[in-house]
A and B are shown apart, each in its own frame.
Chain A
C-alpha cells in the first residue's frame, strides 16, 4: 500500500510538471499563429484582414506569468480553450472526435500484438530450436525492421487498391450511421483490418524477442530446476514458474505502449486516412494551434502516467517483492 501511495505522489508531481511543460513548449516554437492562419489561405486574404484576425483570436500581449495562471485555472476546470485551426470548436470537442478512434485502433492493435507476441515468445523459448523458433523470430524481426510507412503503403496498394479486398480509407463507410448494429460493426472491423494488421505485424517482433530472451534466462534458474525436480506438470512450469517471472519486462513495455496509444499512430492515420490523434497533433503543430497542442500534450501525458500507474498495480500483483518494497 505504501508503495502505491508513494507512486501516486510521484505521478501527481509528474502531472504538474507536464502541465507546465505543455504550457511552455508551444511558446518556444517559431512563428506567429495569426500569420500561420494567413498561410493556410494563402492568396485569399487582404493585408487589412490581418488585424481583424488578431482581434478574433484575442492575441494579447499579457505577461507570460499571467497567461500561465489563467492557463492553470482553465486546466483545473477542464476547459482546454478554443482551437485556432478548428475555430470556433473547443479543444475538448476536437480531441474527442479523434480520441475514440485512436483508442480503438491503437489500443486493439497493441493488445493483439502484445498477446500474440508474448505468447509466441513463450512458445519459442520453451521449444528452443523447434520449427517455430526457427521461423517466427527472423521473419517478424525482418517485418519490424521495415520502415512502417513503406509496409503500410504496400498493404494499402496490394490489398486495398489492386485486389480491392479491403476499404482503403476511413474508419467506416460514409453511408452508415454509427450505432450498435451489425452492419456498422462489420464496417468498422473491415476498415480497421489493414491499419491494425500492419501495426501488429510491425510490432510483433519486439514483444516476441523480449519475452523469448527473458524466458530463456528464467528457464535456467534454480527454481525452474526445482519445480522440474518436484515433478510438476510441464504446463505448470511453463506458465506459473517461467512465464510469470519472465513477463515483468514485457508488462513494463506494455504499460508504456498503452500510454503512447493515446498519441495515435501518425503514419497509419495518414496512409489509411484513419481519424485519430496523431494527425491532429501534426495539424495543430503546422497551424501553430497552441491551445490544441496543449490539449493533446496533456491528454497524452496523462494517459502515459495513468498507464504507468496501472502497470505499477499489476506489478504488485505479479511480483511479491514489490509489495514489500
Chain B
C-alpha cells in the first residue's frame, strides 16, 4: 500500500508540471468559436452558415464588397471601393478595388464577383439569404464595375449583395458540387487564410501572405473546442482565450476582477430586442388592449436585474434596440406608456375589456413557453409571471427542448412565448417580421418570422414605400410612422434590447473596440464585421508586452 501511495504522489508531482492554463503562445490570438462542439470538422466553405463550417470561413477568410458597421451605421468599402444606386433603385453598381490578391498570389477581379453570384444562381442551396427572390442579373458593364439588376426597386438588397463573401473563380470553377464542398485548403482574400494545423479539438489559421491591407498585427488565430458555456467561460477567466462572446454572470467580479489590467468586456445593446410574443391569432391576445395590459403588468426593471444581471435596460415601446438608435422617434417613445409598470391601470384595462375575475380572482390563464437551457429567459419569465398574477392572469412557465420549442413558435402553436428579433441595416427587416401581412403564416404552418402572427395592411403600405426609397428624410418619416403604428397596436411586447456580448484579453494584443473607441462591435460572432477588428489589432508595444520576449 505505501508503495502505491508513493507512486501516486510522484505521479501527481510530475503531472503538476503539465498544467498549461494561461500559457501564452506568442503572436497567436485565441478566439472562441460561437459553435459549441466537442470535435471540429475541417470545413471552410463560406456559403454554409449552418452545419459545421468553421468560424474563419466567413469571419477572416472570405471577404465581402462592403461591410455594414452596426456601430456607425455606415458601409465600409472593402473589396469594392464604392457603390451607386440607379435613379429608380433597380440597379446597383459596385466599383471593384484594384490591387487585391487571392492568398495564392493570383489577382482578384470583378470576374470573381460575377462568378460568385452566378454560382449562387445555379445552386439554389448556396443562396442562404434568398437573393434570387429579388436579384435578376449580374453583369460587368465596364471593366472593374459590377452591376446588379433587380426585379423591382428594392433598397434593402444592398445589405445582402454588399456583404456576400466572394470566392475565386479559378478555384471554384473546378469544384464539382459546391453544395457539398468542404474547402479544406481555402484560397481567399481575407487577413487569415492559411490552415497551419487542424486537429479534432484545436486548429490554427495563419496570415494571408498577400493580404491587400498589409500584414495583420496578429500572426495566427487559434481555436479551441468547448462542449459548453462553463468550459468556455473557464478558459476565458484563466486567460486561455483572448476574444470571446460569452455570457458571463457577474462579469466584473468573475472575469475582470481576476486581472483588471488585461481583462475587459463591452456589451453594447446593439443585438435585437427580446420580446414577449402573444399569439395574436388566439383570443384574447388578438385584442391590443389585452397585450398592452400584459405589458403593463411586467416589472421590466426587475426582469433586467434578475434575468440579465443588469447587462441591459428596460425596452421602450418602439421595439428598437440601439442598433437602430438613430431611427428612434422620441414622440413614439413618449406615447408608448404601456411599457411602464402600472398594475392598477392594467387591471382597469382588463376590467374594461370585459375579462372579469372569477371567484378565485382569475381572469384567464396561459403558459409562457421557453426553450430549456435558456436560463436568462427562464428567470425573466418567472419574474413576469408574478406580475401577471397581480392582474388576475394565471401564467405559468413551461420549458421545452429547443427543437420542440422552435417548432411550436414557428407553427404558431403557443399562447405566449419569449423570442428574439432580427438585426438589419434598417428597421425595415425588423418591422417586416413584426407587422407585415406577408410574413404571417397560418397556424400549423411554419413561419420563420412573425411567430405572433400579426399583420397590418397599414404596415404593408409603409414597408413597401420604405423598401423603394433611399431618401433619408422620407426613410426617417416612414420609420417614425411604423413606430407610431407599433406603439398604437402593440403587436409584440418589447422587454429589453439584447446586449451584444464581447470580452477580450489585452495581454498580447491591443486595438479591440471599446465603449471609448466604438469603431466596430466587439463580438467575434458577427461576420463580416469581425474583419474590421482583425485588421485593427496590433501587438502590445514591445516595451510592456509579451511580444518582446519573442
Contacts and interface: CB of A to CB of B under 8 A. Distances in A.
Contacts of B127: 48-49, 52
Interface of A: 30-32, 35-53, 55-56, 82, 84-89, 93-94, 97-98, 101, 160-161, 163-171, 173-175, 177-178, 186-187, 190, 193, 269-271, 273-276, 279-280, 283, 286, 288
A32 B407 contact: yes
B157 interface: no
A271 B38 CA distance: 11
Contact of A45 (B16, B49, B199, B407): B49
Contact of A166 (B19, B48, B51): B19
B271 to A, nearest CB: 9
Interface stretch (B226-234, B326-334, B362-370, B453-461): B226-234
B129 interface: yes
A85 B52 CA distance: 6
A56 to B, nearest CB: 4
In the complex, the 6 A-B pairs of residues with the closest C-beta atoms, listed nearest first:
A48-B130, A174-B202, A56-B125, A164-B19, A88-B180, A87-B51
Contacts of B39: 94, 97-98, 275, 279-280
Contacts of A286: 401-403
Nearest to A176: B199
Contact of B38 (A35, A47, A55, A280): A280
A164 B448 CA distance: 47
A87 B125 CA distance: 13
B201 interface: yes
B43 A273 contact: no
B357 interface: no
Contacts of A49: 127-130
A200 to B, nearest CB: 12
A86 B18 contact: no
B254 interface: no
Contact of A269 (B128, B129, B227): B227
Contacts of A40: 50
B446 interface: yes
21 contacts: A35-B446, A38-B50, A39-B402, A40-B50, A48-B129, A49-B127, A51-B124, A52-B126, A56-B125, A56-B179, A86-B43, A86-B52, A87-B48, A87-B180, A88-B43, A171-B201, A186-B18, A193-B15, A271-B231, A273-B38, A276-B38
Contacts of A45: 49-50, 128-129, 448
Contact of A46 (B48, B129, B181, B404): B129
Contact of A43 (B129, B180, B272): B272
B200 A275 contact: yes
A101 B39 CA distance: 11
B124 A169 contact: no
A98 B182 CA distance: 19
B200 A97 contact: yes
Interface of B is mostly: loop
A169 B226 contact: yes
Contacts of A276: 38
Contact of B18 (A166, A175, A269): A166
A94 B402 CA distance: 23
B505 to A, nearest CB: 17
Contact of A47 (B12, B126, B130, B228): B130
Nearest to B421: A43
B119 interface: no
B50 A35 contact: no
B25 A175 contact: yes
Contacts of B181: 88
Given A31-B404, A39-B402, A279-B38, A47 B16 contact: no
B128 A46 contact: yes
Contacts of A97: 39, 41, 200
A52 B124 contact: yes
Interface in B445-497: 446-449
Contacts of A170: 201-202, 224-225
Contact of A273 (B182, B231, B448): B231
A39 B403 contact: yes
A99 to B, nearest CB: 11
A174 B201 contact: yes
Given A53-B50, A89-B41, A98-B38, A190 B403 contact: no
B425 to A, nearest CB: 14
Nearest to A156: B234
Contact of B406 (A35, A174, A280): A35
Most buried by A among B15, B37, B403: B403
Contacts of B182: 88-89
B15 A190 contact: yes
A196 to B, nearest CB: 12
B352 interface: no
B16 A165 contact: yes
B21 interface: yes
Contacts of B19: 160, 163-167
Contacts of A44: 49
B174 interface: no
A85 B51 contact: yes
A87 B404 contact: no
B270 to A, nearest CB: 13
Contacts of B179: 56, 88
A280 B421 CA distance: 30
A258 B439 CA distance: 53
A39 B51 CA distance: 11
**Which residue, A88, A97, A101, A166, has most C-beta atoms of chain B within 10 A?**
A88
Contacts of B81: none
Given A171-B201, A273-B201, A190 B18 contact: yes
Nearest to A40: B50
B404 A30 contact: yes
